[in-house]
Amino acid sequence: MDALRPARGVTIPLDAVTVRTSRSSGPGGQHANVTASRVEVLLDVASAPGLSDAQRARVIGRLGPVVRAIAQENRSQLRNRELALERLEERLRQALHVERPRRPTKPTKGSKVRRVDAKKQRGEKKASRRRPNADD
């Protein structure tokens, strides 16, 4: 992976991402005691190149000024680094996503007719459960 591409037209070089390693928690025996396989990647959104001002504001509003992702599942530091970068990219993708505005639509003539017919049927069903009047 040479750069993060969280959205179309957005490319963040890996130089802007800070990578920190540390010892992983959990089981692993002697290997875990000597290997820094836990990887944490950080992106300072304010100084990240490749983002427009609007995109930067959107990410800061949703995730804060520093976006962080951690991976420590694998014994390999390299694999954990790849996983952490993928997670960072996914978090940025979700933060940059803009929901399309919903256009309100009017009900169709057929749906209005079906609704009224269903109401009539329910009313007739309830009316048939009643006791007959003395007039009937």
Which structural domains are found in the chain, ordered by start? 3-96 (3.30.160.20)
Confidence at residue 26, expressed as pLDDT on a 0 to 100 scale: 65
Mind listing the pLDDT tens digit for each residue in 31-69? 666 778 889 999 999 888 888 999 999 999 999 999 999
Cα(5)–Cα(16) distance, rounded to whole angstroms? 13
Given this model, what pLDDT does residue 94 score?
94
Q: Which residues of the chain are under the pLDDT cut of 50?
A: none
| Rounded distance between C-alpha atoms, residue 21 and residue 71, angstroms | 10
Q: State the pLDDT at residue 73.
A: 85
Per DSSP, the three-state class of 1 is: coil
The CA-to-CA distance between both ends of the chain, in Å, stands at: 83
Its pTM stands at 0.71
Residues with Cβ within 8 Å of 73's Cβ and at least 6 positions away in sequence, in order, are 80, 83
pLDDT value, residue 40? 94
Cβ contact 14:1 at 8 Å = yes
